[in-house]
Amino acid sequence: MRDKTIEAATKPTPWDMLVIGGGASGLGTAVEAATRGYRTLLLESHDYAKGTSSRSTKLVHGGVRYLAQGNISLVREALHERGLLKKNAPHLVRDQGFLIAAYKWWSAPFYGIGLKMYDLLAGKLNLKASRYINKGQALNNIPTLKKAGLGGGILYFDGQFDDSRLAITLLRTLEDHGGVAVNHAPVTGLIIEGGKVVGAHWRDAETGQTHEARAKVVVNATGVFVDDLRRMEDPQVKPMLSPSQGVHVVVDRRFLPGDSALMVPRTDDGRVLFAVPWHDHVVIGTTDTPVPDVSWEPRALPEEVDFILKTAAQYLDPAPTGADVRSVYAGLRPLVRAAEGTDTKALSRDHVIRISAGGMLTLTGGKWTTYRRMGADAVNRAADLAGLPRRMSLTEGLKLHGATTEALAEPWKVYGTDAERIRALPGASVMLHPDLPYSEAEVRWAARQEQARTVEDVLSRRTRALLLNARASAATAPRVAAILAEELGRDEAWQATQVDAYRQLAKGYMLPDGVLPANATEREQMETRPA
CA separation for the pair 48, 414 (Å, rounded): 16
Q: Which residues of 339-369 are buried (b: 16+ CB within 10 A; e: fewer)?
A: eeeeebeebebbbbbeebebbbbbbbbbbbb
284: left (phi over 0), alpha (psi -120 to 50) or beta: beta
**491, 492, 498, 502: CA torsion to nearest 10:** 150
End-to-end, the C-alpha distance of the chain in Å comes to 56
CA separation for the pair 146, 358 (Å, rounded): 58
CA separation for the pair 67, 4 (Å, rounded): 47
pLDDT above 50 (res 513): yes
Percent of the chain with pLDDT over 90: 84
Q: pLDDT digit string (tens) for 229-276?
A: 999 999 999 999 989 999 999 999 999 999 999 999 988 878 889 999
Do the first three CATH levels of 2-52+164-240+345-397 and 412-507 match, i.e. the same topology?
A: no
Q: pLDDT digit string (tens) for 49-83?
A: 999 999 999 999 988 877 777 788 888 999 999 99
Q: pLDDT digit string (tens) for 133-175?
A: 999 999 999 999 999 999 999 999 999 999 999 999 999 999 9
DSSP H or E segment with residue 441: helix 440-449
| Angle made by CA atoms 26, 202, 29, in degrees to the nearest 5 | 15
177 φ, ψ (degrees, to nearest 5): -105, 20
On whether the 60-160+242-337 domain is CATH 3.30.9.10, my answer is: yes
Q: pLDDT digit string (tens) for 334-371?
A: 988 754 333 434 344 578 999 999 999 999 998 999 99
DSSP H or E segment with residue 181: strand 180-182
Compute the mean pLDDT over every residue in the chain, rounded to the nearest whole number: 92
Radius of gyration of the chain (CA): 23
Percent of the chain with pLDDT over 70: 94
pLDDT above 80 (res 529): no
pLDDT above 60 (res 523): no
CA separation for the pair 417, 518 (Å, rounded): 36
Q: pLDDT digit string (tens) for 25-47?
A: 999 999 999 999 999 999 999 99
Q: Domain 412-507 - what CATH class?
A: mainly alpha
What is the pLDDT at residue 345? 46
CA separation for the pair 441, 431 (Å, rounded): 9
Residue 272 or residue 531, greater confidence? 272
Domain residue limits, the chain = 2-52+164-240+345-397, 60-160+242-337, 412-507
**3.50.50.60, 2.50.20.10, 3.30.390.10, 3.40.50.970: CATH of 2-52+164-240+345-397:** 3.50.50.60
- For residue 525, what pLDDT band results from cuts at 50, 70 and 90? very low
Q: Could you give the C-alpha distances from 529 to 270, 524, 526, in angstroms and in order?
A: 37, 8, 5
